[in-house]
Structure formats: C-alpha cells, structure tokens
C-alpha cells in the first residue's frame, strides 16, 4: 500500500488553482480555520485578510448569524430543482433585491457565478432584440481594460489585447471596444471623454445589443476609478441610440464603493444588472441578473416565449438563505460609516507608498485601496513577504490592492496597510 501523500503534495501535484500551472512552485498556504478578519494557517500562523476572499466576505468569516441561518435552512431543504418548484428563500431574496436595486429592475434570474450572470445578461439582451424583430443586434460595446468573467461570452467583452483572455481571441465573438474613460472619479466627464462611446454607437448601434460597463470601478482589468458623469452620459447615449445598458456590479455591489450599488454615484439605472461576489457574504456561490419589465416582457412575448437558460443549481435554497441573511446584516449595520472609516484608514495608511520610487500611483475609493507599481510584481516573492508580515494580500500585475471585510477594526486595518507599505518599499 502506497504511503498517502501529504496535503501539500496532493495540492501541488493534482489541483489547479486560479490562473496557475500544475506542479508550480508558486506558494499555496493551507488554511485550517477562519474567524472574523483572520485566517489561521495549518502551521499556526494568523493572517489579517485584506482581500475578503476576492471581495466576497464582507461580514468576516464564521459569522454567528450567517451560520445559524444556514444551519436552520439545511434542516429544511438544502437543494431543490427550480424548474417547476419554488421556495421561500428565493422568494424573500427576490423581494429584497427588487427593493434595494434601482426601481426599474423587477425581474430576477439566479445563476451560480458572476461570469454566468454576465452570460445571462448578454443572452437576455440578444433575445430581447430578437423578440423585437432585430435579430441582427448581437454585438456588444465594452471598455478596454474591462473584466467581466472567464466564460466564453464574458471573455468576449473583456479587454481583447492586454486582458488575460487574449489566447482565445480567435474563437471569441467579435465585439466592439472603446478606450477606457480617463476622467477620474470625482472629476467631470468632458465631450472628449465620452466621444469614443458616442462614435461607436453612431457607427454600430444598428448591430449592437447592449453596452456593458463596470460602473465606476474597473476591477480585475486594472482597478481604475472613473467619473460618475461618464456613466450618466453613457446612459443618455444608450437611450438616444436605443441600445440596452448592462451594468456589471459583481465587484462593486453591496457597499464596496460607499454606495449600495456603484451606479448610485451617477443616479442612473441600467436595463440589466449583474450581481454576485458579496451577494452571499462569501458563504456560497450565487449570482443574479436583474432586468426591467420591458426586457422580460419582450422576451416572454417573443419566440420561443421563454428565456433560454436554466442552471441546475439555480436559486439553491442554502445560497439564497445566505444571500438574504447577508443583505439583512448589511442593511442593519452602519455600513456606510464603516466604508468611510475604511476609506480614511486606507488613504492614511497607504499614503507613504507614494514616496517609493517603485510606485506609480496610490488611489482609494470606499473600501478599495490600490497601489499601482511601475513594474509588475514578482508574485512568488511578494506573496511570501506578505504572509511573513502577517497579512493576506494577493496582487496581480502591477497592482497591490486591498478590499478588506467591512468589519475590520482600525487597528487591524493599520497593521494591514503598514504591511503593504513595508513590502512595497522592499520591492
């Protein structure tokens, strides 16, 4: 009988991690438990989590209210096919989402992940125009340096050149890309800033199903914060050219930017909205695509008279319970005060990074702090340096960034930013 492999060996030899190679020597750290904002490693070390596990765990880990809600639901029904059946967690979650999202959004479709929520949004837009007698409207206009997910439809609206999906460019649908807005958050949007979108719509509206944008924050494409006025003018242009507007709120939804949804900074509503990530407080995978009655009615009244999508785990009762509980926790908390507190802590704590000759820029919005380096970081060495400093921070490319849980204390936030300053200084 062969001797069993160690946990580390099995992981290294048989498991693919996100954007990694098999048998890679990149560091992977085994987590034994997590509580609050701390991850306890198998070797006993504790790390302050600066990433909210890719922006999801807004209430921290092992939250007693979340745990109790899920334990209660698992004794009722843990999974139920959503074809022909429904359940209270899905119904109550739907009511809650309709209540907190822009008033024009009244129809909700549940899926398993953010990427699929974007796929669903794109299919909705195409099926809407097909139902309206404009089947030629199948293309999308998107921003360069944008990111919308890893599945094929979502990849087709991610940055086509510098993005992580350029390998697949020959097999992806050919969509239309315009320059990212360079007007920063808090600045006005000029005619020059909006001109690329206006020109693209003027030229391509007849064949365009929708414009798709990450509102205010371009996330994994570069952590860029742009003007709310740009969103306002984008909404006006979509109305003028009779093109749908899809807003991808997967990373920005549920308070991260200081508003419940980032589109609120601009005071606009999309025709279709995608949400995910923090939706369940990081407990289970769930996403949703919301749309207006005009879009859902058109799809219902067209051929084939149904929306053509239906995941196996759609509206899973446990996931819906987690989402409903997480939203209620958020709304009952002083979440805006926490976001502004974190924003101040990030601004103050990351400010010394500006003195480093290796740093291009430091920018902060809400509970997002970004240190943009002049050169791409060495992931292997910088990850080890952060762990040795007692924090969990996972940079990418030139970006060292923080998105901590909303419950992080001022002391832990200061320790987190101090670690970033020290590690960045040694790069």
Q: Which residues are catalytic?
A: 19, 147, 248, 277
Nearest to 387 by CA among 8, 60, 44: 44
CB 247 within 8 A of CB 272: yes
Element spanning 379, H or E = helix 379-388
CB 140 within 8 A of CB 212: yes
CA distances (Å), origin 55, targets 17, 122, 166, 205, 264: 17, 24, 25, 34, 19
What lies within 8 Å, CB to CB, of 154 at 6+ separation is 115, 118, 119, 122, 148
Q: How far is residue 297's CA from residue 293's CA, in Å, rounded to a whole number?
A: 6
What lies within 8 Å, CB to CB, of 266 at 6+ separation is 215, 216, 228, 229, 231, 232, 235
What lies within 8 Å, CB to CB, of 5 at 6+ separation is 13
- Helix, strand and coil content of the chain, in percent to the nearest 5, comes to 40, 20, 40
Nearest to 228 by CA among 218, 209, 215: 215
Q: How far is residue 350's CA from residue 265's CA, in Å, rounded to a whole number?
A: 24
The 10 Å Cβ neighbour count of residue 347 is 15
Q: If 0-12 CB within 10 Å is exposed, 13-18 middle and 19+ buried, where does residue 58 land? A: buried
């Amino acid at each position: 009988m062969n001797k069993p492999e160690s946990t580390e060996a099995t992981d290294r030899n048989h498991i693919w991690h996100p954007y990694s190679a098999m048998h890679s020597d990149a560091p992977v750290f085994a987590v034994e438990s997590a509580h609050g904002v701390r991850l306890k490693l198998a070797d006993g070390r504790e790390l302050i989590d600066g990433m909210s596990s890719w922006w999801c765990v807004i209430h921290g880990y092992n939250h007693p209210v979340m745990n109790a809600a899920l334990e209660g639901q698992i004794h009722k029904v843990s999974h139920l096919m959503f074809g022909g059946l429904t359940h209270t967690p899905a119904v109550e979650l739907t009511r809650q989402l309709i209540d907190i999202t822009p008033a024009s959004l009244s129809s909700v479709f549940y899926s398993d992940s953010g990427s699929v929520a974007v796929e669903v949004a794109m299919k909705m837009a195409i099926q809407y125009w097909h139902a309206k007698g404009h089947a030629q409207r199948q293309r999308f206009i998107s921003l360069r340096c944008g990111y919308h997910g890893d599945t094929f439809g979502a990849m087709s609206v991610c940055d086509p050149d510098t993005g992580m999906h350029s390998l697949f460019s020959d097999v992806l649908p050919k969509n239309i890309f315009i320059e990212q807005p360079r007007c920063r958050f808090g600045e006005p949007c000029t005619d020059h800033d909006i001109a690329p979108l206006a020109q693209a719509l003027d030229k391509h509206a007849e064949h365009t199903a929708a414009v798709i944008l990450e509102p205010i924050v371009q996330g994994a494409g570069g952590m860029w914060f742009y003007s709310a006025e740009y969103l306002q003018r984008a909404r006006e242009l979509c109305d003028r050219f009779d093109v749908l507007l899809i807003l991808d709120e997967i990373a920005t939804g549920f308070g991260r930017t200081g508003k419940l949804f980032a589109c609120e900074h601009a005071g606009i509503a999309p025709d279709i909205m995608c949400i995910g990530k923090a939706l369940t407080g990081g407990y289970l995978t769930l996403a949703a695509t919301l749309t207006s009655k005009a879009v859902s009615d058109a799809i219902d009244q067209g051929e084939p008279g149904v929306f053509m999508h239906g995941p196996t785990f759609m509206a899973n009762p446990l996931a819906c319970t987690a989402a409903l509980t997480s939203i209620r926790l958020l709304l009952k908390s002083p979440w805006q005060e926490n976001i502004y507190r974190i924003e101040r802590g990030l601004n103050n704590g990351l400010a010394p990074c500006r003195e480093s000759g290796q740093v291009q820029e430091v920018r902060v919005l809400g509970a997002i702090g970004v240190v943009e380096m002049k050169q791409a970081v060495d992931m292997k060495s910088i990850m080890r340096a952060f762990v040795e400093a007692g924090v969990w921070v996972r940079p990418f490319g030139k970006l060292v960034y923080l998105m901590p849980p909303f419950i992080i204390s001022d002391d832990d936030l200061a320790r987190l930013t101090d670690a970033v300053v020290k590690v960045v200084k040694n790069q």
